[in-house]
Amino acid sequence: MTSFTGNNAALVGNIDGSPFLTMQEGFTWTGNFDFGESLLWTGNSNFGVGGLGPMAMDFFNPVGTVGFSIQADFYGTFTAELAAFDSNGNLLALYINTNGVSDGLENGSALFMGLGDLTGPNIASIEFTITNSSPQGPSGDNDFAIDDVSIGTVPEPSSLVLLGSGLLGLAGVARRKMGR
């Protein structure tokens, strides 16, 4: 199985064991990502190139938030799904978005999906896919590309309280100076 490893994540690849491919918007892929962006594509098993999704990503250290842009490999509407799991493989969240539209505008309008766990960095892995498409593309469902993967942590509540009290203090100082 093909994989890609970053600072805190390993893209496992297509769950069916087929390799994913790297593409570039405007050169080997024409869609609604920004021109020149590097993409990860499931591939198209109907044409003997790669395979089909869903894809999975594992994190070396659990994260609090994750998101990415996604587009189906055909023009039209699609439904995308993102599932997050903890380190024991338990489902934490399932996010389904039905507002995806694929076109060839190359203007950065690809659907962005993301989710976060407000209780802390508990997301150990994610799975993402195209679950429904209309019209049906030449390779069917699960033929898609992703871009702009972002991961992060959720601030602890005590950090937010500290930040809020600091901002209130700055507002008080500014008010005093303006009152003089």
> Domain locations in the chain?
4-154
Measured over the CA atoms of residue 151, residue 142, residue 4 and residue 90, the dihedral's sign is positive
Which pTM does this prediction carry?
0.76
Instruction: Please give the DSSP secondary-structure letter assigned to residue 94.
Output: E
- Give the integer Cα–Cα distance in Å for 162 and 130: 41
CATH of 4-154, one of 3.40.190, 1.10.287, 2.60.120, 2.60.40: 2.60.120
pLDDT tens-place string over residues 11-62: 666 777 777 788 888 878 889 999 988 888 888 766 667 777 888 888 888 9
